[in-house]
């Protein structure tokens, strides 16, 4: 198993270098000069412009800039934001826990509902349950996030007043955000009602962000289950008199999980893309909105550093998925 | 009373602030995050709302709701006979805030004033490079050329020696970049090796003290109980950062915030009918325009420019692009600004007369470019749509229009070219309420190849605005600017399109909120009923 993990880790190196190069090149390929954008309609004199270009180091050859960036990255220095003048690293870790907390909740929500839905649909193939669940999943998959979020806010926060409109916790609670994970910080604050308030604030964003992965997981589970249910060993298990629930849960589901785990791993990218919209609507202080704002402001250090860190996260998730394959199917790790 | 309204009531009644309990918290749903808390480093209104207005003061300030300049940290000022020296007499007994790292040992004095400006203009000042200081406004308002030296006459008297007489200087001193920071705090932070704290954990003399900022989420302030002026009416001020306008409105309805900025124009009608919302409005201090390139034929002929102006159906633009939240502009300065010339007559919308005028000027089969900005601005919420409407209007008089656009940075840069091809949609929001800030910046000869997108340098106009710049008598200045507007209208270097109307939405229990013409959101005078 260790050898398997080590071989997976080795593939990290070229990917990491590639991502560093792409993230550096990506923002520079976009038209628009960060210094002119910063000055806006007011503009600036040519001397002032030249001064700033020198101050930010953009008059140096592009290869020198890349080399400096790369050596900085290897030493753990991602640069300083043009706009807030704070280190990219600090900004990322101030915001990332919010995105992570939301993403984990959304993923748990998607898996908890998506897996059983897919299994039930497969077992009841062609029947009422199957058709209803799969049509609902298709609707969920096609739903524009922005519209879906506003609809939920209007119904549950506006009309029914069951959930708060946006934010992470009611403003009456104020305590230091020690870890940035609101559920944990609220629990540790000892302020009565803080945890409940944080949970209530998580409900709608979790549903919105989890909807597309939920639909994908449900559909994938259904088709993988259907495939497995047609296998000989399932018929054998049934013939041996094993209860249908046991056959479905132990023999069928475990073997159907490989493609499902793959989809879950791939959903992390979707989740981060969805986080951008979800975070904007629910005023959720995470990295999605931070990245979008930075792209508009051409904040080079934030965009390249943020992209790199997000890419590393996705790589780690994919590594985890690879390891999970090995656990689910021992044949894979022996190859 | 709904559950959420109860919650807000609770928030208002007991803001739990790290153990301390305060009554009355005002929650403002703001549209974005501040870039930092040192206003001299930045240029965005969102940053000023969170920094210069609650935390700091300036030597002079704009009276809330007007562009009138009133004394603040300076009790009075005197301009010398030749206009070259402005002497401020400072207020005594004003204390700076304290925080966990700093407690002031002395009151505000002349050293703080000198430090606040010296750090922006003097490369040798240790704070000049701190936080990547680019001091955009200080440079943009020509302070480096204008201020020759700043002299400490005594602890409470400061003299600014200027290189030339400049009437708008006083108004400039009321701008956000001129906020006064504590030299004692700056020195202490420099010594502690954390000079960036001046920007991150701000200390000022303003009506609120900074308490905490959770990035992209919440900013908290507490009332400054030893404030030198009228103390704030609420004990705590909270900015709930809410980027989406529809969500801000939902939060107002749900009672999660008391005041919101920038409503969607499409929601205004519903808000006006909503008993949970009070809609306030005021003309913005801005102008949106179409600038011809007056150095390129046939737009070097004022008759051609006026003919094109007459072909534009501005009312349709107000209805479609601004959805009613704008008013037709006839002058290059907004009507809320002093010296606005009521007497000028706008070019009437008359396509037939326009076509005849073009023919008379010998222009046939004209095809032109209109540049549409890629971004939304208060003075132009949808430039593409505006350009399309103009395209249709110009087609009616036989002028063929191609719409072009570039990425925002490119757009700003390329539109400055003196030999640029085409007319540019752009606009301006005032900085200091002084007509010079519009007329000289946007239409003066110095701006050609820069902020003067019409590339228009017209001697009679230039003479008038230069005379107004050095004149210290307000009435005489107003008369000169009125004359400048008449000349502008005759020469028509722009088609003046619109001034936007700024809307603010509050809950019914909010008292004393005033929409500020300079665009800031100010809460000292706001109470909760």
DSSP letter for each residue of A177-240: -SSS-HHHHHHHH--TTHHHHHHHHHHHHHHHHHHHHHHHHHHHHHHHHHHHHTSHHHHHHHHT
Question: What residue spans define the domains of chain A?
Answer: 1-75, 88-332
**pLDDT above 50 (res A267):** yes
Please compute the mean of the pLDDT values over residues B147-159 and round it to a whole number: 96
Query: What values do phi and psi take at B289, rounded to 5?
Result: -145, 165
B125: its two tokens: 């000042």
Please compute the mean of the pLDDT values over residues B432-447 and round it to a whole number: 91
| pTM of the complete model | 0.85
Q: Using CA atoms of B170, B175, B177, B181 in order, give the dihedral in degrees to the nearest 10.
A: 80
- Measured between beta carbons, the chain A residues lying within 8 angstroms of B244 are 166, 280-281, 283
DSSP letter for each residue of B136-147: HHHHHTTHHHHE
A133-141: long-range pairs with CB below 8 Å, 24+: A133/A218, A133/A222, A134/A218, A134/A219, A134/A222, A137/A214, A137/A215, A137/A218, A137/A219, A138/A215, A138/A219, A140/A211, A140/A212, A140/A214, A140/A215, A141/A212, A141/A215, A141/A216, A141/A219
Q: What is the CATH number of domain B283-502?
A: 3.10.105.10
Q: How many CA atoms lie within 13 A of A100 on its CB side?
A: 17
**pLDDT above 70 (res A215):** yes
Q: Answer whether A41 sits within 8 Å of B134, measured CB to CB.
A: no
Within 10 angstroms of residue B197's Cβ, the number of other Cβ atoms is 22
Please compute the mean of the pLDDT values over residues A195-223 and round it to a whole number: 94
pLDDT given for residue B131 in this prediction? 72
Q: Cβ distance B403 to B437 under 8 Å? A: no
Alpha-carbon distance of A166 to B421, in angstroms, equals 47
- For residue B25, give the DSSP letter: E
Decide if B140 touches A, using CB distance below 8 A: yes
Q: Regarding the domain delimited by B57-201, which CATH topology (the fold level of the hierarchy) does it fall under? A: Dipeptide-binding Protein; domain 1 (3.90.76)
pLDDT given for residue B132 in this prediction? 67
CA-to-CA separations, A128 to A122, A221, B93, in angstroms, rounded: 12, 18, 79
Domain at B19-33+206-277+507-528: CATH architecture: 3-Layer(aba) Sandwich (3.40)
- Measured between beta carbons, the chain A residues lying within 8 angstroms of B408 are 32, 37
SS3 content of chain A, % helix, strand, coil (to 5): 80, 0, 20
Q: Answer whether A282 sits within 8 Å of B247, measured CB to CB.
A: yes
Question: What residue spans in chain B does CATH classification 3.90.76.10 cover?
Answer: 57-201
- Among the partner-chain residues A83, A153, A170, the one whose CB lies closest to the CB of B247 is A153
Alpha-carbon distance of B221 to B19, in angstroms, equals 15
Alpha-carbon distance of B323 to B332, in angstroms, equals 22
- Measured between beta carbons, the chain A residues lying within 8 angstroms of B426 are 41
Q: Cβ distance B57 to B73 under 8 Å? A: yes
Q: Cβ distance B508 to B275 under 8 Å? A: yes
Of the listed ranges A48-57, A94-103, B270-279, the one predicted with least confidence: A48-57
**What burial class does residue B29 get, using C-beta atoms within 10 Å of its C-beta: 0-12 exposed, 13-18 middle, 19+ buried?**
buried
- Measured between beta carbons, the chain B residues lying within 8 angstroms of A165 are 247, 250-251, 254, 256
- Measured between beta carbons, the chain B residues lying within 8 angstroms of A158 are 250, 253-254
Question: What residue spans in chain B does CATH classification 3.40.190.10 cover?
Answer: 19-33+206-277+507-528
Q: What's the gap in Å between the CA of B43 and the closest CA on chain A?
A: 8
A250: its two tokens: 């132990």
Task: Kindly indicate the confidence band of residue A295, based on its pLDDT and cuts at 50, 70 and 90.
Answer: confident
Q: What is the pLDDT of residues B304-325, one digit of tens each?
A: 999 999 999 999 999 999 887 8
- Cα B446 off chain centre by: 22
| Percent of chain A at pLDDT exceeding 90 | 32
Q: Answer whether B428 sits within 8 Å of A41, measured CB to CB.
A: yes
**pLDDT above 70 (res A333):** no
Question: What residue spans in chain B does CATH classification 3.10.105.10 cover?
Answer: 283-502
pLDDT given for residue A29 in this prediction? 83
pLDDT given for residue A16 in this prediction? 85
Nearest CA to B337 out of B456, B470, B489, B171 is that of B171
Q: What's the gap in Å between the CA of B182 and the closest CA on chain A?
A: 20
Q: What's the gap in Å between the CA of A44 and the closest CA on chain B?
A: 7
Cis link prior to A163 (omega < 30° from 0)?
no
Q: Cβ distance B46 to B521 under 8 Å? A: no
**pLDDT above 50 (res B118):** yes
- For residue A248, give the DSSP letter: I
Q: What is the pLDDT of residues B459-500, one digit of tens each?
A: 999 999 999 998 888 899 999 999 999 999 999 999 999 998
SS3 per-residue string spanning B113-136: HHHHHHHHHCCCCCCCCHHHCCCH
Q: What is the pLDDT of residues A113-164, one digit of tens each?
A: 999 999 999 988 889 989 998 899 899 888 888 899 999 999 999 899 999 9
Please compute the mean of the pLDDT values over residues A267-288 and round it to a whole number: 86
pLDDT given for residue A334 in this prediction? 57
Decide if B27 touches A, using CB distance below 8 A: yes
Q: Are strands B236-241 and B218-223 parallel, antiparallel or unpaired?
A: antiparallel
Alpha-carbon distance of B426 to B415, in angstroms, equals 10
Q: Cβ distance B54 to B26 under 8 Å? A: no
Q: Cβ distance B430 to B162 under 8 Å? A: no
pLDDT given for residue B375 in this prediction? 84
- Among the partner-chain residues B11, B244, B428, the one whose CB lies closest to the CB of A171 is B11
pLDDT given for residue B307 in this prediction? 96
Tell which of B30, B38, B247 to mutate to test the A interface (max A CBs under 10 Å): B247
Q: Regarding the domain delimited by A88-332, which CATH topology (the fold level of the hierarchy) does it fall under? A: MetI-like fold (1.10.3720)
Q: Answer whether A45 sits within 8 Å of B406, measured CB to CB.
A: no
Predicted complex ipTM exceeds 0.85 = no
- Tokens 């690879």 belong to residue: A322
Alpha-carbon distance of A115 to A253, in angstroms, equals 9
- Measured between beta carbons, the chain A residues lying within 8 angstroms of B43 are 38-40, 42
């Amino acid at each position: 198993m260790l050898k398997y993990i080590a071989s997976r880790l080795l593939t990290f190196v070229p990917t990491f270098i590639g991502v560093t190069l792409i993230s550096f090149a990506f923002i520079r390929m976009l038209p628009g000069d960060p210094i002119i954008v910063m000055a806006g309609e007011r503009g600036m004199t040519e001397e002032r412009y030249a001064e700033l270009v020198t101050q930010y180091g953009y008059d140096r050859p592009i290869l020198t800039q890349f080399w400096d960036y790369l050596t900085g990255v290897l030493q753990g220095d991602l640069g300083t934001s043009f706009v807030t003048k704070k280190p990219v690293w600090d900004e990322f870790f101030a915001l990332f826990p919010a995105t992570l907390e939301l993403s984990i909740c959304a993923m748990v929500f998607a898996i908890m509902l998506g897996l059983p839905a897919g299994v039930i649909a497969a077992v009841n193939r062609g029947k009422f349950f199957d058709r209803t669940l799969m049509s609902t999943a298709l609707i969920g998959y096609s739903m524009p996030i922005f519209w879906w979020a506003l609809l939920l806010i209007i119904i549950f926060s506006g009309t029914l007043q069951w959930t708060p409109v946006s934010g992470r916790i009611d403003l009456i609670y104020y305590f230091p955000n020690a870890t940035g994970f609101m559920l944990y910080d609220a629990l540790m604050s000892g302020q009565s009602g803080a945890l409940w308030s944080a949970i209530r604030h998580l409900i709608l964003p979790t549903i919105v962000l989890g909807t597309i992965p939920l639909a994908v997981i449900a559909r994938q589970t259904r088709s993988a289950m259907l495939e497995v249910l047609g296998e000989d060993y399932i018929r054998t298990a049934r013939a041996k008199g094993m209860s249908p629930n046991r056959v479905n849960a132990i023999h069928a589901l475990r073997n159907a999980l490989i493609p499902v785990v793959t989809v879950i791993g791939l959903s992390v990218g979707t989740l981060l893309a969805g986080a951008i919209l979800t975070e904007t609507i629910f005023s959720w202080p995470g990295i999605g909105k931070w990245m979008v704002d930075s792209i508009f402001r051409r904040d080079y250090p934030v965009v390249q550093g943020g992209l790199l860190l997000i890419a590393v996260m996705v790589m780690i998730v994919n590594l985890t998925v690879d390891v999970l394959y090995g656990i689910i199917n021992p044949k894979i790790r022996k190859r | 009373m709904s559950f959420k309204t109860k919650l807000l009531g609770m928030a208002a009644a007991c803001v739990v602030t790290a153990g301390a309990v305060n009554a009355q918290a005002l929650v403002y749903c703001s549209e974005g995050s501040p870039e930092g808390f040192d206003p001299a480093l930045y240029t965005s209104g969102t940053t000023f709302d969170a920094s210069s207005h609650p935390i700091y003061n300036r030597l002079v300030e704009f009276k809330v709701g007007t562009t009138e300049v009133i004394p603040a940290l300076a009790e009075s000022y005197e301009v010398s006979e030749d206009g070259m020296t402005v002497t401020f007499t400072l207020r005594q007994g004003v204390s700076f805030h304290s925080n966990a790292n700093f407690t002031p040992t002395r009151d505000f004095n002349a050293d703080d004033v000198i430090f606040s400006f010296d750090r922006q203009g003097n490369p040798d000042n240790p704070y000049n490079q701190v936080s990547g200081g680019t001091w955009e406004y200080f440079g943009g308002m020509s302070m480096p050329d204008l201020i020759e030296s700043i002299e400490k006459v005594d602890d409470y008297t400061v003299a600014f020696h200027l290189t030339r007489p400049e009437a708008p200087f006083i108004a400039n001193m009321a701008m956000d970049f001129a906020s006064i920071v504590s030299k004692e705090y700056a020195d202490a932070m420099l010594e502690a090796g954390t000079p960036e704290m001046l920007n991150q954990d701000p200390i000022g003399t303003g009506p609120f003290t900074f308490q905490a900022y959770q990035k992209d989420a919440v900013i908290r302030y507490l009332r400054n109980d030893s404030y030198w002026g009228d103390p704030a009416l609420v004990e705590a001020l909270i900015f709930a950062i809410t980027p989406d306008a529809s969500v801000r409105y939902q939060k107002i309805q749900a009672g999660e915030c008391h005041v919101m900025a920038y409503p969607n124009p499409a929601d205004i009608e519903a808000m006006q009918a909503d008993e949970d919302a009070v809609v306030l409005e005021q003309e913005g201090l801005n102008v949106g325009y179409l600038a011809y390139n007056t150095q390129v034929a046939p737009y070097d002929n004022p008759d051609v420019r006026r003919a094109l102006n007459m072909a534009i159906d501005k009312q349709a633009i107000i209805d479609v692009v601004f959805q009613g939240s704008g008013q037709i502009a006839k002058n290059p300065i907004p009507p809320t600004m002093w010296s606005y010339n009521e007497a000028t007559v706008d070019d009437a919308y008359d396509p037939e007369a326009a076509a005849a005028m073009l023919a008379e000027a010998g222009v046939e089969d004209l095809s032109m470019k209109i540049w549409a900005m890629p971004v939304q601005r208060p003075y132009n919420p949808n430039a593409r749509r505006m350009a399309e409407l103009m395209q249709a209007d110009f087609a009616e008089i036989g002028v063929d229009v191609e719409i072009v656009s570039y990425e925002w940075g490119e757009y700003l840069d390329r539109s400055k070219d003196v030999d640029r091809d085409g007319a540019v949609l752009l606009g301006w929001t005032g900085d200091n309420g002084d007509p010079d800030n519009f007329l000289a910046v946007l239409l003066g000869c110095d701006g050609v190849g820069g902020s003067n997108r019409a590339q228009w340098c017209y001697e009679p106009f230039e003479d008038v605005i230069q005379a107004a710049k050095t004149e210290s008598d307000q009435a005489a200045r107003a008369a000169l600017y009125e004359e400048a507007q008449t000349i502008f209208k005759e020469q028509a270097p722009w088609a003046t399109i619109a001034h936007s109307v700024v809307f603010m939405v509050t809950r019914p229990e909010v008292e004393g909120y005033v929409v500020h013409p300079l665009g800031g959101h100010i809460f000292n005078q706001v109470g909760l009923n």
